[in-house]
Structure 1
Amino acid sequence: MNRWNTADTTLLCAALFFLAAVGCKITFPDNVVAEGFLFVTEAALVGGIADWFAVTALFKKPLGFPFHTAILPHRRKDFIKASTVMVQQEFFSRRTIFKKLGDFKLMPRIVDYLARNETRQLVVKELFGVVKKFFAAQNKEKLSKTIANELRRILRDLPAQSMIADLGGHFKRNGKDREIFIDIVKAMRRVAAKPETCDRLQAILEEYAAQRTQNSGGFSILMAGLAQMLNLVNFEEAAQIMQTQLLKLLDELAADTQIHRRTLNECRLKIAELADTPEFKDLVERMQIDAANALPLEEAIELALIHLESQIATTDVDEALAKAQASKSLKLGGKSLGVLLVTIFNDEYGKLIELLRGDTKARAAFEKFIDELTKRATLYAQPLVGVVAKSALERLTEDQLNNLVYDKAEQDFIWIRLNGSIVGSVVGLAIFVLIKFAGLSV
């Protein structure tokens, strides 16, 4: 604004030409050309000075003239208010913002950014950090009591009838009842195959024979003693035969035979009948209550939480992430909780990227969400643009504000002043010619 420019040069030239014209007029008082030259230069000088005054009056007081000058400093508040409204309603209007957002194609940029390996690592680390902080912030003792109380409530409130039915149905559907039956039979066979079992059978037979003999009178006792002396009744051999037959029976029960299937079905029916009895239901309910009260759930849960927190705290995220990215498939076995979480986060993040790229519906839904989010954010920020513009303008000094406006339209202001001298000289020449044609004197 204070720099020398083309308009200043033009005005200086007009003043010099005017002085030269005055000299020519004095030297050649009756010369028409000298008279016209003076008339034209005078008009150019007056026009240039007038436009210089007009442009300068916008920003300060030219030559100290106080009336209707320094317009911008005097109307500073109105100018700032108008500029703020213009920024909000013209430069950052809703229509303009939505049009720019529509042309920006934000979705492909977001997907490409999310697909970068650096972004994946950042997201996985942030998620793991959130989980780590969450575990560290928990009161283990209080949390274990809360979980234990809830587990006890669930255990106590489980309906005995439905629990028995569900458990039996689960065992039957998965063949677990057959496995349990076979395990019981095998356990019985192991016991039956022991020598002690044979001895026990022999003792039972001898005891049974003794009781029958005593109940039958003296003659029976005599005959039994005679049979033993002649080795007609051998309890040891009988016990061995019974043991052999028992083992054979147990082998058939353990194999897929008709007796195995019949016995298993019979057991199922008896268990179902037993489950419907009120006594069994009461027994199960008492077992539920006793288990809920007797189980040391608080200590077990607290130890589990401490162990899980230790696993998370000691996890090297970078190493776990590198292994997870190198692995082709998600393998959960044998991993600590921290490594498991990193693996799951990495795998699910990859699935998210594939979903956004391959699933049209998911991509459209995510794009709609991003579009609404950005529009809401920009509309929320729209008033802030005016606040920022107003705050910035209010902090400017008068000279800074003048320079800001002048610099934005400097060429226009220069041409306004140039046009003053040019138009003044042209109009002055035209008026001089008309005066001479009319035969009037200047």
Structure 2
Amino acid sequence: MSPNDTIVTTGFRDDAAKLAALRRTKLIATGALCLCVAVFATAKIYQPVYPWLGFVAAFAEAATIGGLADWYAVVALFKRPLGLPIPHTAIIPANQNRIADNLGRFIEVNFLAPGPVREKLNEVDFASLVADWLSNPQRAEALSRFVARLVPQTLAAIDRSGLRNFVAERMVAELDKVRVAPLAAEFLSAFTEDRRHQKLFDQFTRIIGRFLSDEEALATMREKIRKELPSLFNLFRADAYLLKKIVASSASLLEEVRNDPDHPMRHEFDRFVHNFIDDLRTSKAYARRAEAMKRDFLARPELKALAGDVWESLRNLIEQDAAAPDSKIRAHLAGMFVEVGRNLASDKAIRADMNQGFVVALSSFVESQKSGVSGFIAEQVKRWDLGQLTRLMEMNIGRDLQYIRFNGMLIGGMAGLALYVGELLLLAN
């Protein structure tokens, strides 16, 4: 048996129990009324023989009248007593539409008002419920599988919607707003803090040193010197001498610079770098050149093609991993969900903010939909079959209404007895 079948069966059992209880109460009330009639008749018959039965007769007579009056009142709520077309009877069926509208407005005003809704929502710790749910590894794993199944559809929807091109265009537009020269100046300023740019200078000197020790480079330099010298000097191989002196002097200078952190060449390099940074910050010419280079770079088709290739590669990687049995995406998602749940459970401030957000969102939703809810309730009540409406209300409140008949008989009997005693006292005087 499905859960829905169980609920329906339980509902039928509850309705049957309510109907049985209503019938029993009706039967007892009717029996009590008949008993009052019988007692009244018997007391009246034997009253001449036993005068004290006048008290009994007075009680029974008034109880009968009270019981009949209350029986009429109870029956008139749901149907016409004895089927007679008496005005202002069958009150509930005759006023079905008005009852439906009033019920809808009553629920809207009293149950869906902002104050009661917020008060009730504040009683619920939504954040703790979310934290408990996410902290369960099995639930987190199931949620990660659900999210992973949505990945291909999400990526395909991004492609179809043009969102990828829109994002790319917005990124290019935002990059175009960035002033390159001041940004480069700030970057270089950060790089030159604590003279870190001197490491670049050291690397440069090493590159020059390796160049001077390269045989092919030296041969090229020697050939260049030979062409520049007069022929007479070449007879004495002056080119080799000059090259040797140049290489030796350069190597000595580079070694001296590398070993001396306070060398004048280093200070000259410092001035060059700082002047260049200042020019980047203030020079309009540098700014124009930087902006032109930036626009040329952003307009190149290779950049768009590269962005497309990166997106396709990323998409394929994500889809393949999401579909794999040992998906790293699912594993990371599951771990992230569990971690989020645990952090949420331990952070009261975040839970309070989250609960407040739930209250605001849900109360706003209820406020925007409460008119529709009241209208829906009213329409449903109006569509109910009159017989179904009567049975439903009688089944749920009819048993309590039957006790009015008991009370009517009791109160009526006591009133009749009091009047009878008053009559005897007046006649005795």
Match of 1:87 among 94, 103, 107: 107
Decide whether aligned partners of structure 1 residues 37 and 251 sit closer, same or farther in structure 2, where only a CA change above 3 A counts: closer
Structure 1: gaps spanning 5 or more residues: 214-223, 325-341
Q: Is the 8 A contact 2:100 2:379 kept in 1?
A: no
- Larger RCO: 1 or 2 (CA < 8 Å, sep 6+): 2
Separation in 1 of the partners of 2:98 and 2:299?
78
Match of 1:13 among 20, 35, 55: 35
Is 1:386 aligned to 2:406, yes or no?
Answer: no
Separation in 1 of the partners of 2:155 and 2:230?
73
Match of 2:120 among 73, 92, 100: 100
Match of 1:192 among 178, 192, 212: 212
Q: Is the 8 A contact 1:135 1:309 kept in 2?
A: yes
Decide whether aligned partners of structure 1 residues 373 and 274 sit closer, same or farther in structure 2, where only a CA change above 3 A counts: closer
The within-5 A match list for 1:397-416 is 397-416=385-404
Task: State the structure with more CA Rg.
Answer: 1
Separation in 1 of the partners of 2:147 and 2:375?
36
Q: Is the 8 A contact 1:198 1:243 kept in 2?
A: no
Structure 2: gaps spanning 5 or more residues: 1-21
Give 1:7's aligned amino acid: A
Give 1:306's aligned amino acid: E
Separation in 2 of the partners of 1:84 and 1:145?
47
3-state DSSP of counterpart to 2:259: coil
Is 1:242 aligned to 2:245, yes or no?
Answer: yes
3-state DSSP of counterpart to 1:255: helix
Match of 2:155 among 135, 139, 143: 135
Q: Is the 8 A contact 1:144 1:302 kept in 2?
A: no
Match of 2:304 among 287, 298, 301: 298
Separation in 2 of the partners of 1:279 and 1:92?
67
Decide whether aligned partners of structure 1 residues 10 and 53 sit closer, same or farther in structure 2, where only a CA change above 3 A counts: same
Give 2:94's aligned amino acid: H
Give 2:328's aligned amino acid: A
String of CA shifts for 1:276-318, please: whole Å, max 9, x gaps. Answer: 6999888767655655555611221111111111122122387
The within-5 A match list for 1:149-188 is 151=172, 154=175, 162=182, 165-166=185-186, 168-169=188-189, 171-173=191-193, 177-188=197-208
Is 1:358 aligned to 2:364, yes or no?
Answer: no
Q: Counterpart in 2 of 1:216?
A: none
Query: Share of identical aligned residues, percent?
Result: 18
Decide whether aligned partners of structure 1 residues 166 and 67 sit closer, same or farther in structure 2, where only a CA change above 3 A counts: closer
Separation in 2 of the partners of 1:285 and 1:430?
108
RMSD: 4.7
Q: TM-score, normalised by structure 2?
A: 0.70
Separation in 2 of the partners of 1:148 and 1:42?
95
Deviates more, 1:287-296 or 1:54-63: 287-296
Q: Is the 8 A contact 1:111 1:356 kept in 2?
A: yes
The within-5 A match list for 1:250-329 is 252=255, 255-257=258-260, 261-270=263-272, 291=297, 296-316=302-322, 319-320=327-328, 323-324=331-332
Deviates more, 1:427-436 or 1:294-303: 427-436
Separation in 1 of the partners of 2:292 and 2:67?
110
Q: Is the 8 A contact 2:134 2:140 kept in 1?
A: yes
Separation in 2 of the partners of 1:128 and 1:400?
49
How many residues are paired up?
A: 398
String of CA shifts for 1:134-176, please: whole Å, max 9, x gaps. Answer: 5333449995698479649957x77675466456535534866
Separation in 2 of the partners of 1:122 and 1:373?
26
Is 1:59 aligned to 2:48, yes or no?
Answer: no
